[in-house]
Amino acid sequence: MKHSIQTCYSPSLYHLFEDPEAIVVVVDVLRATSAICTAIHNGVDNMIPVAHLEEALRYKKQGYLVAAERNAIMQDGCDFGNSPSHYLNNALEGKTVVISTTNGTQAIDAAKDATTTLIGSFLNISTVSAWLKKQNRNVIVLCAGWKNKYNLEDSLFAGALALELLKDSRFFTECDSTISAGYLYDLAKKDLFGFLENSSHRKRLNNLHLEDDILYCLTPDSLNTIPYVTEGLIKKMPADYKLEPRKVLADMKQG
Amino acid sequence: MKHSIQTCYSPSLYHLFEDPEAIVVVVDVLRATSAICTAIHNGVDNMIPVAHLEEALRYKKQGYLVAAERNAIMQDGCDFGNSPSHYLNNALEGKTVVISTTNGTQAIDAAKDATTTLIGSFLNISTVSAWLKKQNRNVIVLCAGWKNKYNLEDSLFAGALALELLKDSRFFTECDSTISAGYLYDLAKKDLFGFLENSSHRKRLNNLHLEDDILYCLTPDSLNTIPYVTEGLIKKMPADYKLEPRKVLADMKQG
């Protein structure tokens, strides 16, 4: 049985891709999912993704640690923005952090009915692809984009992941977004930082002097942790994690 | 004053791009806008774009000529599908044709509130770009895609048009979709037909033995006609056509 790879360029188009058996990989390279991967890798126990800022601030009033960013800027009354740099040491080990960002948490919210949602970034891309190759499932890469528009950096991740999976003959793609993302990654792979120089979000972050963050987020394979969404929380996927059996196949056997 | 170029990959995302002063170029390379360009060039007087098939069939009952296609197949009870080949001679000179297609007419419908909407294709790309360079307006390329998903062929058109406009220093882009489309076109331009070999829609059409149509639609600059949308009809843009004055500037002068 062959497994398809699809890429969705905007959270608001995700309903066109839904596949109850697929594994969804949510990516927001600059910077939400890079921050989540870093936090979970360095010991944060739970992250609570919330789409709306008001909800994040309600958690803050209840005493939670809150990371909230809009338009690349940390929001008033919160503990962090969405820079991975907040999580580079283990000061937050065992803690719960509520997170709300311009694009990343909207993408996680869009995929909330998926049976399995992983959090991807260049930081953990090889760990994610190695794990996906061990499952027998279709894959949907859900790019957070920028306010529901396409962005280059998330597409590059989608292309990189797809090209890696397609080395395994059990995967295939007939999805134009995936094919396009693969071409782009091939053009960019020797110098992701340079390739993104003209991208809209890179310019936005440059204006805020976040060059170190960008360099960090574009460094592949610095982490071997897969965060995943379980019962509304983002947690570290345990080594013995098993996918639920395919419902569709189970229903067919019953039927 | 500099003019921005943006690319929208899906009709259902067009609301994110709306700009009351921009010129919108709708493209559905395979095959709706290629067919419209061919029909209008060869003398069809009016085309009435309708998004829904039922509406097209109501026109048919009233005695109109109707071109209607869904999933690349001509619909029962209609005169044509969306193949440009129906319009290659002047048998329909002076006629009105109602047209409804899977993606192209939905895209025209999405842009119905734009002040100026042009119909683009590789067939008239140089005529369109030369005309755009004479206007002082932002440009939005609206790709019809496939059922609101991204497709390669419309992106290639967007990239080709953007790269041509960007040769003129009065144009700029900060739109990641446009940058990405430009990279893709650069990769593909030597052999558009070969580049699209693996695309989803090319495969769909190949199964229907439409290779001649595809070759025709990918031939740049065979037509020097610009169809545009005026009062709900698609007509040939007259040589003396003038854009309405910018409303925003007029309001500012009044204010």
Does residue B250 surpass a pLDDT of 60? no
* Residue A9 sits at the chain B interface (C-beta within 8 Å): yes
pLDDT-derived band at A202 (thresholds 50, 70, 90) equals confident
Class of domain A3-240: alpha beta
pLDDT-derived band at A152 (thresholds 50, 70, 90) equals very high
Give how far B73 is from chain A: nearest CA, Å. Answer: 20
pLDDT-derived band at B251 (thresholds 50, 70, 90) equals low
Give how far A201 is from chain B: nearest CA, Å. Answer: 9
CA of A207: how far to CAs of A202, B3, B198, in Å? 9, 22, 39
Is the interface score ipTM higher than 0.90? yes
For chain B, give the percent of residues with pLDDT over 90: 85
Nearest chain A alpha carbon to B188:
A183
Tokens describing residue B218:
């990918």
Euclidean distance between CA atoms B253 and B250, whole angstroms: 5
Q: Given the DSSP bridges, would you call strands B171-172 and B3-8 parallel, antiparallel or unpaired?
A: parallel
B162, burial (CB in 10 Å: exposed 0-12, middle 13-18, buried 19+): buried
Asked if residue A7 lies in contact with residue A155, where contact means CB atoms within 8 angstroms, the answer is yes
Instruction: Render A54-91 in DSSP notation, one character per residue.
Output: HHHHHHHHTT-EEEEEETTEEPTT-SB-S-GGGGSSST
Please write the tens of the pLDDT for every residue from B207-233.
777 889 999 999 999 999 999 999 999
Please write the tens of the pLDDT for every residue from B98-126.
999 999 999 999 999 998 999 999 999 99
pLDDT at residue A146, as a whole number = 95
Tokens describing residue A5:
């790879």
For chain A, give the percent of residues with pLDDT over 90: 85
Q: Yes or no: is domain B3-233 CATH 3.40.50.300?
A: no
Tell me the average pLDDT of chain B.
Answer: 93
pLDDT at residue B246, as a whole number = 76
CB-nearest partner of B180 from A10, A146, A184:
A184
Q: How far from chain centre, in Å, is Cα A29?
A: 7
Euclidean distance between CA atoms B20 and B39, whole angstroms: 28
CB-nearest partner of A150 from B148, B180, B198:
B180
Q: How far from chain centre, in Å, is Cα B184?
A: 19
Give how far A152 is from chain B: nearest CA, Å. Answer: 6
Query: Which of A147, A150, A178, A207 to mutate to test binding with chain B, by most B CBs within 10 Å of its CB?
Result: A150
Burial B126-151 (b: 16+ CB within 10 A, else e): bbbbebbbeeebbbbbbbbbbebbbb
Q: Which of residues 126-155 of B touch A (CB under 8 A)?
A: 146-152, 155
Taking CB atoms and an 8 Å cutoff, what residues of chain A touch B147? 16
Q: Given the DSSP bridges, would you call strands B227-230 and B233-236 parallel, antiparallel or unpaired?
A: antiparallel
Tokens describing residue A112:
């909330």
Beta-carbon-side half-sphere exposure of residue B185 (alpha carbons within 13 Å): 20
| Mean pLDDT, residues A54-82 | 94
Contact B147 A16 (CB under 8 A): yes
Euclidean distance between CA atoms B167 and A238, whole angstroms: 53
pLDDT at residue B1, as a whole number = 86
In the chain, the amino acid numbered A175 is: C
Choose between A85 and B255: higher pLDDT.
Answer: A85
Residue B226: which region, alpha, beta or left (left: phi > 0; alpha: psi -120 to 50)?
A: beta
Give how far A160 is from chain B: nearest CA, Å. Answer: 15
Q: Which of B201, B203, B99, B138 is nearest to B8 (CA)?
A: B138
Asked if residue A26 lies in contact with residue A108, where contact means CB atoms within 8 angstroms, the answer is yes
Tokens describing residue B102:
């899977």
pLDDT at residue B42, as a whole number = 97
Taking CB atoms and an 8 Å cutoff, what residues of chain B touch A151? 176
Q: Which of residues 213-252 of A touch B (CB under 8 A)?
A: none
Mapping DSSP onto H, E and C, the string for B198-224 reads: HCHHHHHHHCCCCHHHHHHHCCCCCCC
Burial B41-55 (b: 16+ CB within 10 A, else e): bbbbebbbbbbebeb
Taking CB atoms and an 8 Å cutoff, what residues of chain B touch A174? 200, 203
Asked if residue A95 lies in contact with residue A45, where contact means CB atoms within 8 angstroms, the answer is yes
pLDDT-derived band at A171 (thresholds 50, 70, 90) equals very high
pLDDT-derived band at B248 (thresholds 50, 70, 90) equals low
CB-nearest partner of B13 from A12, A17, A198:
A12
- What predicted TM-score, i.e. pTM, was given to this entire model? 0.95
* Residue B5 sits at the chain A interface (C-beta within 8 Å): no
Tell me the average pLDDT of chain A.
Answer: 93
Query: Which of B8, B17, B150, B192 to mutate to test binding with chain A, by most A CBs within 10 Å of its CB?
Result: B150
pLDDT at residue A206, as a whole number = 79
- B33 Cβ neighbours under 8 A, 6+ residues apart: B26, B27, B104, B119, B120, B121, B144
pLDDT at residue A254, as a whole number = 52
pLDDT at residue B245, as a whole number = 80
Residue with tokens 């999912």: A33
| Mean pLDDT, residues A137-144 | 98
pLDDT-derived band at A253 (thresholds 50, 70, 90) equals low
Does residue A129 surpass a pLDDT of 60? yes
Taking CB atoms and an 8 Å cutoff, what residues of chain B touch A17? 149
Nearest chain A alpha carbon to B199:
A176
Contact A16 B149 (CB under 8 A): yes
Mapping DSSP onto H, E and C, the string for chain B reads: CCEEEEEECCHHHHHHCCCCCCEEEEECCCCHHHHHHHHHHCCCCEEEECCCHHHHHHHHHCCCEEEEEECCEECCCCCECCCHHHHCCCCCCCCEEEEECCCHHHHHHHCCCCCEEEEECHHHHHHHHHHHHHCCCCEEEEECCECCECCHHHHHHHHHHHHHHHCCCCEECCCHHHHHHHHHHHHHCCCHHHHHHHCHHHHHHHCCCCHHHHHHHCCCCCCCCCEEEECCEEEECCCCCCCCCCHHHHHHHHC
A211-225, B49-63, B181-195, B201-215: least confidently modelled range: B201-215
pLDDT at residue B255, as a whole number = 42
Nearest chain B alpha carbon to A150:
B177
In chain A, domain spans: 3-240
